[in-house]
Amino acid sequence: MIDKPRVIVVDDDMSVRRGLERLLRSVGYEVELFASSRAFIERGEYERADCLVLDVRMPGPSGLDVQHLLVSAGHDVPIVFITGHGDIPMAVQAMSVGAIDFLVKPFDDVIFLNAVQRAVAKSRQRRA
């Protein structure tokens, strides 16, 4: 039996975090939640995730900061960015460093799950 794909969600808003967790669980993902980027970074073992869902604006290091950190350390984890208000330069930057998608809140569940699905697929493909 194949392991359930693991998705890590990092968002400072509890309600958003819990909504995303339920959505992901409903389609069969294993979900791990972090309330801040700092907590996520300190936890380590970044490769265990098949997909990383990152809020852009958070107290402390932003989602983009986390991406930069992971890329420069050579951790290749597919990332889906979510943000309260998007701007194009930010999205371009994120995508250019290999992000899977850049979603502006609030977003449709299908779009979100599709993005996560693509990330997981990429991750699995690489491991295979």
Partner 1 sequence: MSLRPVRETAAAALLVAVAYYAGANLGFILRFPPSTPSVLWPPNTILTAALLLTPPRRWWIYLLAALPAHLVAELGLFPISLVLTLFATNCSEALIAAAGVRWFSDAPGRFDTLRRVTAFIVAAGLAAPFFSSFVDAAAVAAAQGEPYWLVWRTRFFSNVLTELMLGPAIIMAVTAGPAWVRGAPRARRVEAALLAVALVIVGAWVFGALIDRPGNIPGASVVVFLLPLILLMTVRFGPGGASLALLSTSLIAIWASAYGRGPFAGLPAAASVQALQILLTVLAVPILCLAAVIVERRQATRALGEQLQALRASEVLKSAILASLSSSVAVLDRSGRIIDVNAVWTRDGGECAGPTPGRIEVGDNYLDVWREAARRATPHAEEAVAGIEAVLAGSRPGFGIDYSSHAGASERWFTISVVQLGRLEGGAIVSCAEVTERKRAELDAQRSRQELAHFTRVSTMGELTASLAHELNQPLTGILTNAHAGLRFLDAVPPEVGELRAILSDIVDDDKRAAEVIQRVREFVRKGEPQRVPLDLNVLVKDVAKLLSSDAIIRNVTVTLDLAAEPVRVYGDRVQLQQVILNLLLNAMEATAESAGPDRSIVVRTEITTMLETVHLSVTDAGGGLSTGSTEIVFEPFYTTKPAGMGMGLAIVRSIVEAHGGVVWAVKNPTAGATFHVAIPVRHVPT
109: contact with partner 1 by CB under 8 A: yes
Q: How far apart are CA 42 and CA 20, in angstroms?
A: 22
Residue number with CB closer to partner 1 (13 or 32): 13
4: contact with partner 1 by CB under 8 A: no
Residue number with CB closer to partner 1 (12 or 46): 12
Tell me, residue by residue from 86 to 105, as one string, x for binding to partner 1 by CB under 8 A and - for no binding: -------------------x
Q: Which of the residues 22 through 51 are near partner 1 (CB under 8 A)?
A: 22-23, 25-27
Contact 16, 35 (CB under 8 A): no
Helical segments of 44-108, H only: 63-72, 88-96
Six-digit token pair at 103?
A: 């979603």
Which residue of 4, 18, 43, 75 would you call a contact of partner 1, by CB under 8 A? 18
The contacts of residue 49 (CB under 8 Å, 6+ apart) are 6, 7, 8, 32, 77, 123
Q: How far apart are CA 11 and CA 4, in angstroms?
A: 22
Q: Determine the interface stretch with partner 1 among 7-15, 71-79, 90-98, 115-123 (rule: CB under 8 A).
A: 7-15
The contacts of residue 115 (CB under 8 Å, 6+ apart) are 80, 100, 101, 103
13: contact with partner 1 by CB under 8 A: yes
The residues binding partner 1 (CB under 8 A) are 12-13, 15-16, 18-20, 22-23, 25-27, 57-59, 62, 84-85, 105-109, 112
